[in-house]
Structure 1
């Protein structure tokens, strides 16, 4: 395959991931507004947000098992259809169930993109997988930066959330057109002659099982915090959505310069340092106010920057026989963990707020209270206390990750990477 063809496939892949990330960034920015407009509580909002994470693992795992059979192109055409349907249904949503279904469709589209594009990038850049996966995945935080800035600016000009969601149609149509015109190579595992039996055997490697478990923690740390930061800290600072913009902006820069970092430190070294920084950033976000919140977001962004692509790169480089299925099981595991955690924390957030309000208080009455009233002020103070408590609970995860990645770093030192060849 020519260098020009590889570049076109990579660019189209980045555009498809841009749509995925815009859905996260814009939804994070309008989540609170959807709750007010459709009279939804935090648990309902948590369920809607989690729906995207349900659809993702469903699609990425199924896609991982069929991508070698039907090819990457057909999967990406399916992603385009799901994205288009999900975006349009969101724009014309009328309540809880339409938001639920539309978010599910977008989640399925997002998972299908990852199911096809992760093995595609690993195939066309087989000699530099972790670095190129980081370059590809910089468009995830990049899209969140664009999405949150769109929300911030459009809100200033009084432009409705429906138009903000509609902006995702532009890159969707472009990537759908590009992929329909391009030809695709077989996946790296198929091209190397590794059989399906050898692939399934590799999935039972204890190291792969450990990476699946660690993916639970890295995904929750990065994606739950990013998706809920505006809700959790809105009553702590007037610029909560800009915290997400800063965090993801740091991630874009970090992933753009992943090459020298990964080559100097090794993937396990990068993951260890990332866990330490993520824990420090979450601590500051949960224990600070004012400008220190932005310092926390900066450090947290540096921490979670390399998590997702480096986890995939580690598996692709050290367990290459797991192929597309291995990479996609990793992605599916991460998103599934986030979906469960989001629902649990959404419910916990409601409980914490209720516990800080007068006994017998109706949340519906407080949510509909006039701004500036005593009820509205009490609710604001309750949310101001509850948000950081959720963040502080989540802090436990990167602390545990730090310990495990330190042990993995020692274990992997001096070990040779597995070569991709038929058994």
Structure 2
């Protein structure tokens, strides 16, 4: 790729994803700031105020997906930068459910444009290592959550500083990724490289295999992000510092994604997804019955489960359904985030009416369904492989 600095673009992409991920950790810490003991919102109201982080993400991905091919990766990347900046400023000014809702919407849209632009960028730069490099790129989602969680804990719980200082730390990776992307040439998307028409692309997202993966994305994303986004309330009776559990979970996820190449080679994407669903189910159940130090053991099992969900779902589509292009990746990411926007208020109501254990038990239904779904996927892919060699 002549005139394209892949290393600089990949580093900038990782920093953009760190910005995205830090918003998740910082938002989790803001739950107690705006909750019953702070501003006075109920946990259900918090769920509605935080929901735009996910459906805003979905809107940006559904819009950004087709536009990446039309306008180019660079323009969508700058749209991400601008909406990120606006969202961070509005979060600093938030003082009610409505203002928090609007701020979260802009942050969510920024996060969505990051994924809409940069998943196709990584896939285009590394066409022979898609699943491996998408996993390596997505190291920085859990990595960024670790950074955000530790900063939140240090700034608010250890140093006793204001939540506004915690939110302001988001400007650091934002400015750096803006500088790194500035003036850089970017490749066209893989679909454009392959010469696949819009008609072929839109037809391909109606294929049964793609629709099945979209359904599974609803459940994988809700299992992972629904749980981690509400960890402050879910685990406040089990451990003294839930943000440290969040950092622990995402530290394991970052390490796992860093070495995803060897796992992909051995298990193939469908096998990775099946094992992920099994560990996620066990981890969620363990979280309902543990407290204190044992919570970290349960969290480790859960982390092993959710580590490969998001990037492997994207990698599967990029590898086996490349004709879906940037639109396919955007629909997948958008479906995942939309599912979380539905789950958050439901979890809030369960926690308001009952307890955190009930919410976790309800969430464990999702990976249970996925175990059956991914068993079927493994059988299908093995039969497809056999048929292609005949």
Aligned to 1:273: 275
Cα distance in 2 for residues equivalent to 1:236 and 1:260: 35
Q: Secondary structure at the match of 1:186?
A: coil
Question: Does the C-alpha gap of structure 1 residues 191 and 217 become closer, same or farther in structure 2, counting only changes over 3 Å?
Answer: same
Aligned to 2:353: 351
1:143 is the counterpart of 2:112: no
Aligned to 1:363: none
1:401 is the counterpart of 2:370: yes
Greater CA drift, 388-397 or 89-98: 89-98
Greater CA drift, 203-212 or 35-44: 35-44
Cα distance in 2 for residues equivalent to 1:402 and 1:14: 31
Whether contact under 8 Å (1:121, 1:133) holds in the other structure is yes
Aligned to 2:11: 11
Aligned to 2:128: 127
Q: Secondary structure at the match of 1:253?
A: helix
Q: 2:336 aligns with which of 334, 339, 343?
A: 334
Aligned to 1:289: 291
Aligned to 1:21: 21
1:387 is the counterpart of 2:389: no
Aligned to 1:383: none
What are structure 2's unaligned runs of at least 5 residues? Answer: none
Q: After TM superposition, list the pairs within 5 Å mapping 1:198-347 onto structure 2.
A: 198-347=200-349
Q: TM-score by structure 1 length?
A: 0.89
Greater CA drift, 392-401 or 177-186: 177-186
Q: Secondary structure at the match of 1:415?
A: helix
Aligned to 1:67: 68
Aligned to 1:167: 169
Whether contact under 8 Å (1:73, 1:180) holds in the other structure is no
Greater CA drift, 133-142 or 26-35: 26-35
1:4, distance to aligned residue in structure 2 (A): 6.8
Whether contact under 8 Å (1:30, 1:151) holds in the other structure is no
Cα distance in 2 for residues equivalent to 1:163 and 1:209: 43
Question: How large is the RMSD of aligned CA atoms in angstroms?
Answer: 1.6
Aligned to 2:78: 77
1:279, distance to aligned residue in structure 2 (A): 0.7
Cα distance in 2 for residues equivalent to 1:414 and 1:283: 33
Aligned to 1:373: none
Q: After TM superposition, list the pairs within 5 Å mapping 1:188-203 onto structure 2.
A: 188-203=190-205
Aligned to 1:32: 32
Q: Secondary structure at the match of 2:51?
A: helix
Cα distance in 1 for residues equivalent to 2:2 and 2:277: 38
Greater CA drift, 124-133 or 289-298: 289-298
Cα distance in 1 for residues equivalent to 2:339 and 2:370: 15
Q: Secondary structure at the match of 2:337?
A: helix
- For 1:213-243, what per-residue CA distance to the aligned partner results, in whole angstroms no more than 9, with x for missing partners? 0000000000000101111110222122211
Q: 1:180 aligns with which of 179, 182, 186?
A: 182
1:51, distance to aligned residue in structure 2 (A): 1.5
Whether contact under 8 Å (1:61, 1:329) holds in the other structure is yes
Q: TM-score by structure 2 length?
A: 0.96
Q: Secondary structure at the match of 1:181?
A: coil
Cα distance in 2 for residues equivalent to 1:204 and 1:27: 35
Whether contact under 8 Å (2:92, 2:164) holds in the other structure is yes
The alignment of Structure 1 onto Structure 2 pairs a total of residues equal to 386
Whether contact under 8 Å (2:350, 2:356) holds in the other structure is no
Whether contact under 8 Å (2:4, 2:185) holds in the other structure is no
Whether contact under 8 Å (1:59, 1:111) holds in the other structure is yes
Cα distance in 2 for residues equivalent to 1:186 and 1:290: 50
1:178, distance to aligned residue in structure 2 (A): 1.9
1:92, distance to aligned residue in structure 2 (A): 1.9
What are structure 1's unaligned runs of at least 5 residues? Answer: 353-385
Q: Secondary structure at the match of 2:287?
A: helix
1:319, distance to aligned residue in structure 2 (A): 0.6
Whether contact under 8 Å (1:38, 1:96) holds in the other structure is no
1:3, distance to aligned residue in structure 2 (A): 9.1
